[in-house]
Amino acid sequence: MADLQPVKGTHDLLPDVMRVQRQIEETARRIAELYGYEHMATPIFEFTEVFRRTLGDTSDIVTKEMYTFQTKGGDEVTLRPENTASVARAFISDGLAQHAPLKYFYSGPMFRHERPQKGRLRQFHQFGIELIGVAEPQGDVEIIACGAATLKALQLDGAITLELNTLGDPDSRAAYRTVLVEYFNDHVDALSDDSRDRLQRNPLRILDSKDPRDRRLIEDAPVYADYLNAQSRDFFAAVCGGLEALGVSYKVNNRLVRGLDYYCHTAFEFTTDALGAQGTVMAGGRYDGLIAQMGGTPTPGVGWAAGIERLAMLTQNKAVRTRPVALVPIGAAAEARALSLAETLRQAGLRVEMGYGGNVKKRMKFANKIHARSAVLIGDDELARDAATVKDLDSGDQHEVGLGDLAAVLSRSG
């Protein structure tokens, strides 16, 4: 048993880590609710077809990274590698089309079998939002503004850059795909094995390659912006104008793409250089073709997801731990009274802890160990006066307080 360890690429979230991650989630949730988004959750595993149909057989997620297994009933299921496909599946299977537009946020674990490294785990956590049923560029502006506001609330906006691009409409995409295939066909011998495989099936994904051989070719590849039609240029101009009107700064990155066919128009990433190669902390885009591709009524959508572990790595200020009050009963009568007093104080919203035994010295040592802000001492003399001695463990000052006033006094001093 002594040799048991977490599975490679996973880790335990102990209280100090959990406190930071919870603060990030609670901040993101608060901002999302200000924009009108509501909490929803999907199962952590789905029928494999949900992801294979949406992410595509050529994506790294499907070909290399999914945790797929058979149930005892013979069904093939997959631990979710991302959540947009699951939200789209819920939109279809729960018959939500009649209620569009819909605004959701979610958080929870995702799973990808990839090489563990800084900021990248096999079980990781994401927070994301999805806006379903809005085709106008105002939806893209709102989604991006919500992401920017979340990062600002986390005091990370100064360390992060918004990179923005357009993928245009399907006609623009088809035109660009043609010239891109022609370009890479002329240099096919210089491509990596993975990119040669993608060339005919999903050439835009070559632009995501990190292989040095591919990167040299990508530098001279045709630029998507040169093949946009007027409608696509107007849509992107509206998104950019909306962001400028809100004071959301960005830079256009013509090489930023989403390789899957259901993506269109806006693609964006919030990036940082503080995490090495894994610099993206939040990414998203418009996916107007996704729900139709999954068999639902054609419905536009746009959204983003953020890696909670990566955001936690950027958070300089540790989440503040609420300091408790320590009850220190002296004697059997005080021990019995302290149990009910602790419940009364907790009902008043105070965090209260009480040692499970020992003399006064041991209990005071426990109070210091848990970094209590105050110790409430109750002995026979205090009980006779229906009072307690409250000691400030930072200053050492102490004074007597009536038990009826204890909750109010401790709340004010907290």
pLDDT of residue 94: 96
pLDDT of residue 257: 83
What angle, rounded to 10 degrees, do the helices at 406-413 and 332-347 form?
A: 60
How would CATH label the architecture of 15-169+229-314?
2-Layer Sandwich (3.30)
Question: Contacts by 330-333 with C-beta closer than 8 Å and gap 24+?
Answer: 330/360, 330/377, 330/378, 330/379, 330/380, 331/379, 331/380, 333/380, 333/383
pLDDT of residue 57: 55
Mean pLDDT computed over 2-23? 89
The three-state secondary structure class of 323 is: coil
Q: How sure is the predictor about 237, in pLDDT bands with cuts at 50, 70 and 90?
A: very high
> Rounded to whole angstroms, how far apart are CA atoms 84 and 50?
10
pLDDT of residue 116: 64
Locate the DSSP E strands across 55-191: 68-70, 76-79, 102-111, 123-132, 161-166
Question: What is the share, in percent, of the chain residues with pLDDT greater than 70?
Answer: 94
- Mean pLDDT taken over the chain: 91
Mean pLDDT computed over 381-405? 94
Lowest mean pLDDT among 36-45, 134-143, 196-205: 196-205
pLDDT of residue 22: 94
Give the tens place of pLDDT for each residue, 251-292.
999 888 876 778 899 999 999 987 766 588 999 999 999 999
The three-state secondary structure class of 346 is: helix
Q: How sure is the predictor about 2, in pLDDT bands with cuts at 50, 70 and 90?
A: low
Q: Does domain 325-413 have CATH number 3.40.50.800?
A: yes
pLDDT of residue 70: 93
> Rounded to whole angstroms, how far apart are CA atoms 3 and 5?
6
Mean pLDDT computed over 323-336? 93
Residue 76 has pLDDT above 80, yes or no: yes
225 or 277: which carries more pLDDT confidence?
A: 225
Mean pLDDT computed over 156-173? 92
> Rounded to whole angstroms, how far apart are CA atoms 293 and 263?
11
Q: How sure is the predictor about 59, in pLDDT bands with cuts at 50, 70 and 90?
A: low
Overall size of the chain counted in residues = 414
Short-list 44, 181, 20, CA closest to 123 = 44
Per-domain boundaries in the chain: 15-169+229-314, 325-413
Under the phi-then-psi rule, with left for phi > 0, alpha for psi from -120 to 50, and beta for the rest, what region is 109?
A: beta
Mean pLDDT computed over 124-135? 97
pLDDT of residue 62: 59
208 or 93: which carries more pLDDT confidence?
A: 93
Whether residue 101 has a cis bond before it, omega within 30° of 0: yes
Structure tokens belonging to residue 61 = 């997620």
pLDDT of residue 162: 97
Structure tokens belonging to residue 180 = 């891109």
pLDDT of residue 118: 63
pLDDT of residue 386: 94
382 or 198: which carries more pLDDT confidence?
A: 382
Mean pLDDT computed over 350-371? 91
